[in-house]
Amino acid sequence: MSRHLYVLLPASGTALRWRTQGEDGRTLASGLLVDDAEAQIDEDTRVTAIVPGSAVSLHWVELPAASAAQAAAAARHLAADFVAAPIADQHVAAAEGVDAAGRRLIGIVDRDVMAGWLAALAHHGLDPDEVVPAPLMLPVIEDAVSTLRSGDMLLVRASDLALETEPVLAEMLIGGRSLRPILRDILDLPAYPEAPLNLRQGEFRKASARAFGRADIRRMALLAAGIVAAWLGADLALALRHHFAANALEAEMQTLAAKALPGVAITDPALQLQQRYAASASSGGFTGMAASLFGALQASGTIRLESLRYEPTGAMRATLIAPMGATVEPVKQRMAADGLNLVEGASRGGDNGQRIDIEVTRL
């Protein structure tokens, strides 16, 4: 990607700071995202959300070589030793690879906090490619510890250490190792190391990119229109002459439409592709749906978001936490005004209220 957008989520407050960096490390633009302002980025811009390290517990653990799913399951089992809160309420992410000593980095963060970060970003039109704890954005220096002051906190990074904490506690953890202070803001670093851990995993993973972009869908729709016009405008002899070629094109269109519209029964590929294109061009996709849900939850005052994911079919699924006996009807009515249909699914009780599964689609 030619550009990289870094967005810094604060530990408190609502303003999100951002900076766009070019391939050569130059700052192309920077600013704040407040209220309902949406970020304006190109499709080829990679988005990295930098989240407070104080909210993420980072540890290097012994995990055998395994598939991504096996590593995630093992990491979740080991994470119970590092947190006092119920592990069911925690989101656990594991690095894809191991370090030189054969250890794997894992990150532990409260699920509600992770969901809140993604909702805040979606409110500003952002669906980040990666969510990285702030300490992991500092360079690893051999035989030294990188430090960077962030308000009243200190970011600390070494090959076996990554945390954000009070300076006094940081000094105790660093011990007698030499320090390499970085006297710059974290958003102003000329270069960043490749993030060893992306928190967007499991239920919080980013939805896979669509197999086809809008231009591809438009091309398919035009191709379909051309086929129909050829059939209507040609005489019978010409139609018979091109019968097999048209069948081949129709079969190809069915195959491509199935890839572009996963999970949808293909009955009229031309019409369905045109409808999907029209919906994606006007509705804002995940951003518009998430922003509507976020606003409706804020207006309710009592219902919170636990998890959120966007389906390839165009629907959005979420799990809400509400007081016992509460109803999601106010949220449903508010979203209906935005042209969205909220379908309430399973509900289950818990220590802090009831969890309600919902599905959101366009009316």
Count CA atoms within 13 Å of residue 142 on its CB side.
1
pLDDT in tens, 134-191: 999 999 998 899 999 998 899 999 998 999 999 988 888 888 889 999 999 999 998 9
Asked if pLDDT for residue 59 goes beyond 80, the answer is yes
- Numbered ranges of CATH 3.30.1360.100 in the chain: 285-362
CA distance 242 to 236: 10
CA distance 28 to 41: 12
Write the CB contacts of 168 (distance below 8 Å, at least 6 apart in sequence): none
Percentage, residues of the chain above pLDDT 90: 37
Q: CATH number for the 3-204 domain, one of 3.20.20.70, 3.40.50.300, 3.30.420.380, 1.10.3720.10? A: 3.30.420.380
| pLDDT number for residue 219 | 66
Q: How confident is the model at residue 282 (pLDDT cuts 50, 70, 90)?
A: very low
Listed in sequence order, the DSSP H helices in the chain are: 68-79, 111-123, 167-174, 214-233, 236-241, 243-260, 269-283, 285-300, 329-336
| pLDDT number for residue 93 | 93
What is the pTM for the complete model shown?
A: 0.59
| pLDDT number for residue 281 | 42
235-267 residues labelled b (16+ CB within 10 A) or e (exposed): eeeeeeebeeeeeebeeebeebbeebbeeeeee
Q: How confident is the model at residue 314 (pLDDT cuts 50, 70, 90)?
A: confident
Q: 22 vs 232, which has greater pLDDT?
A: 22
Would you tell me how many other CB atoms lie within 10 Å of the CB of residue 308? 24
Does domain 285-362 fall into CATH 3.30.1360.100? yes
Choose among 58, 51, 50, 36: nearest CA to 5: 50
Strand 153-158 with 90-94, pairing: unpaired
Asked if pLDDT for residue 197 goes beyond 50, the answer is yes
| pLDDT number for residue 123 | 92
Asked if pLDDT for residue 239 goes beyond 80, the answer is no
Mean pLDDT, rounded, for 116-136: 95
Tokens read off for 304? 């919170």
- Numbered ranges of CATH 3.30.420.380 in the chain: 3-204
Mean pLDDT over each residue of the chain, to the nearest integer:
82
Asked if pLDDT for residue 235 goes beyond 70, the answer is no
126-139 residues labelled b (16+ CB within 10 A) or e (exposed): bbbbebbbbbbbbe
Q: Are 158 and 92 in contact (CB under 8 A)?
A: no
Q: Among 9-18, 209-218, 238-247, name the one with the lowest average pLDDT.
A: 238-247
Helix (H, G, I), strand (E, B) or coil at 324: coil
CA distance 49 to 129: 8
